[in-house]
Structure 1
Amino acid sequence: MKNYIVRGLAGNKSIRLFAAITTDMVEKARKIHGTTPVATAALGRTMTAASIMGYMLKGEKDKVTLQIRGSNKIKSIVAVADSKGFVKGYISHPHIDVTLNEKGKLDVGGAVGKNGKMIIAKDLGLKEPYVGQSNLITGEIGEDLAAYYMYSEQQPSVVSLGVLLDVDGSVKASGGFIIQPLPDVDEETLIKLEEAIRDIPSTSSMVDEGMTAEEILRAVLKGFDVEIIEKNEIDFVCDCSIDKIEKALISIGEKELRSLIEEDGKAEIKCHFCNKEYLFDKEDLTGLLNEALNNK
């Protein structure tokens, strides 16, 4: 499995664990969107986080949307994942470039900015999705997600997300993990967890060294009984289709459809997530207008 995710337990089943290797998935996104290094890192971290969060969902048709609304050069990053961990994502400014930070690393926090929002929508098959949000803390995404869990869901979490790029800008290593103590965790286990996570190396460096997701969790949780209970392949998968685009066109209403037919005689729709183009000629649009009128 090139891109995959694991689910596990530790601390006598009182801590839940998730880790993902996403190198090829993020490289696929980089090629689709033509991202600069800092945009690749920002999008890659967001997609990795969304994939893990999707995998946490219980219902087969459940979905999660993770949106970063930045306050600096990157205005928006969106990633949507299903309960198997399959994910799609896009970034509003794929070609932005910023200088390296003081540590000589890609300045994702500087590109996103600290004054934005993290918005998480969970579609659990109910009438309305559950939507939670929190303010960005650093713009680095991992710390922001940990803060979201703490403030919006009262769930302490260890979140680590990393994307390492090669000299040519391609993705050399990418991955992440989320560790969450469950409500029945005892004080002793919590103290042990805090000590274990004090000096952990970056996730991308561990992936670059060839460590598996399972090995990363065991390295991070030294001294814990890490039990891996599930493993699943993940990937960048866009579920756009001609049917969905047609429904979207019908939903814009009779007036707008007539305007498209009379003024443009065609419509070109591009999917934000995979950049696939859908072309509709006058005949196609007239058929959709008739359908819209019949649905009244």
Structure 2
Amino acid sequence: MRANSDYLMRVTLKNPAIRLALGRFDELTTEGIIRHDADPVAGRLFAGGLASAALMTVLLDEKESYSIRINYKGPVSGMLINARADGRVRGLVRNPHVMTAADSVEMACGDDGASVAVVRSREGKVLNSGEVKTAFIMPSAALGYFLSVSDQVESEIRCEVVFQPDPAAPVRSADGVLMQAMPGCDLEEFGVLRQRLLEPPAGAILRDRMPEPEEELRALLMLLCRTAQPPEHSVTMVEPARFACNCNEERMREMARQMLGEEDFQKLLAEKPDPVIRCQFCGNEYHLKG
């Protein structure tokens, strides 16, 4: 594995009784930002949302998926992200050019926090859903709060995204960690670990580039547990998250037919020589005639 290649791992500890997801999402976040031409403010929020959703895929069983909606009262409006158990992630930010109205994340989101709605499903069948209101505006903190309150599993998510002035590669690094309490976990101890995860040293570990992902994990575990060696743990490398859309010509044509109704759909085909529909998630365009 290249030092800078995307990866995702699932980590389980017995003492303390916690589980982690640790990952690198440079390619995922870069793809999302470029596809939506997101400016630096919208891009920071969107990258955090994509990375956080990617971390949450380790919580899914086979063939399951999350549909995540984060809404703000500010001019950025919000984002919608779909994340699947196999690592396929796609998303959109509703106002990717928010800097015309706001020059900071705080101004873009507004002063009313965020509302977070998450649907967990398997092959189109809803398994569970929930919605919470939170004062957190960064997607990582908002989704960690959602898991703690709606799923009732004490959780924390931290993502560190660093940008660079390169339109072809706007993300220099995007690393994140999800931490959850397991059955039997001392919640007071978890609170201490959570605080350590949110402190600057943990952020520095996520931003630094270590030769191997396992080295980053070891450094993080020793920091969280305040030990000279990482506590006993098991690691499973899973499929790295990637920006992937499930749109295709047939699906987009059927969606247009359902949105317009059969009569208006046929009228559109008769009036326009070559109507085109654009996928809101990936930007791919499809010809409706064919």
The TM-score bracket by the shorter chain reads 0.7 to 0.9
Secondary structure of the residue that 1:233 maps to in structure 2? coil
| C-alpha distance in structure 2 between counterparts of 1:112 and 1:216, whole Å | 32
- Please give the TM-score of this superposition, normalised by the length of structure 2: 0.84
Relative to structure 1, the CA distance from residue 72 to residue 4 in structure 2 (aligned partners, 3 Å threshold; closer, same or farther) is same
| Residue 28 of structure 2: aligned partner | 25
Q: CA deviation at 1:245?
A: 1.1
Deviations 1:36-68 (A, max 9, x none): 111111111111111111232012x21111111
1:209 aligns with 2:208: yes
Kept after mapping to 1: 8 A contact 2:176/2:206: no
Kept after mapping to 2: 8 A contact 1:7/1:228: yes
Instruction: Choose which of 266, 271, 274 in structure 1 pairs with 2:282.
Output: 274
| C-alpha distance in structure 1 between counterparts of 2:191 and 2:141, whole Å | 20
Relative to structure 1, the CA distance from residue 195 to residue 184 in structure 2 (aligned partners, 3 Å threshold; closer, same or farther) is same
Q: CA deviation at 1:88?
A: 1.0
Instruction: Choose which of 112, 136, 158 in structure 2 pairs with 1:160.
Output: 158
Deviations 1:247-294 (A, max 9, x none): 21333332221331344454311011111111123xx4xxxxxxxxxx
- Written as runs of structure 1 = structure 2, the 5 A alignment for 1:98-177 is 107-113=104-110, 114-125=112-123, 127-168=125-166, 170-177=170-177
Secondary structure of the residue that 1:197 maps to in structure 2? helix
Kept after mapping to 1: 8 A contact 2:88/2:244: yes
| Residue 250 of structure 1: aligned partner | 257
Worse-matched range after superposition: 84-93 or 165-174: 165-174
Secondary structure of the residue that 1:173 maps to in structure 2? strand
| Residue 35 of structure 1: aligned partner | 38
Worse-matched range after superposition: 81-90 or 110-119: 110-119
Q: CA deviation at 1:112?
A: 2.2
Paired residues, what number? 274
Instruction: Choose which of 10, 15, 30 in structure 1 pairs with 2:13.
Output: 10
| C-alpha distance in structure 1 between counterparts of 2:249 and 2:154, whole Å | 42
Q: CA deviation at 1:96?
A: 1.6
| C-alpha distance in structure 2 between counterparts of 1:157 and 1:214, whole Å | 22
- Partner letter of residue 40 of structure 1? G
- Partner letter of residue 112 of structure 1? C
| C-alpha distance in structure 1 between counterparts of 2:34 and 2:198, whole Å | 35
Kept after mapping to 1: 8 A contact 2:116/2:133: yes
Secondary structure of the residue that 1:248 maps to in structure 2? helix
Deviations 1:89-135 (A, max 9, x none): 111111121666xxxxxx43432233431111111247435221111
- Partner letter of residue 135 of structure 1? K
Q: CA deviation at 1:177?
A: 0.8
Relative to structure 1, the CA distance from residue 230 to residue 87 in structure 2 (aligned partners, 3 Å threshold; closer, same or farther) is same
For the pair shown, the structure with the greater C-alpha radius of gyration is: 1
| Residue 287 of structure 1: aligned partner | none
| C-alpha distance in structure 2 between counterparts of 1:187 and 1:99, whole Å | 39
- Partner letter of residue 179 of structure 2? I
Deviations 1:15-35 (A, max 9, x none): 111011001221122221111
- Please give the TM-score of this superposition, normalised by the length of structure 1: 0.82
| C-alpha distance in structure 1 between counterparts of 2:10 and 2:76, whole Å | 31
Secondary structure of the residue that 1:45 maps to in structure 2? helix
Q: Structure 1: which 5+ runs fail to align? A: 101-106, 285-296
- Written as runs of structure 1 = structure 2, the 5 A alignment for 1:58-69 is 58-59=61-62, 61-69=63-71
Q: CA deviation at 1:76?
A: 2.3
| Residue 232 of structure 1: aligned partner | 239
Q: Percent identity?
A: 22
Relative to structure 1, the CA distance from residue 126 to residue 264 in structure 2 (aligned partners, 3 Å threshold; closer, same or farther) is closer
| C-alpha distance in structure 2 between counterparts of 1:269 and 1:44, whole Å | 26
| Residue 88 of structure 1: aligned partner | 90
| C-alpha distance in structure 2 between counterparts of 1:198 and 1:245, whole Å | 42
- Partner letter of residue 276 of structure 2? E
Kept after mapping to 2: 8 A contact 1:52/1:85: no
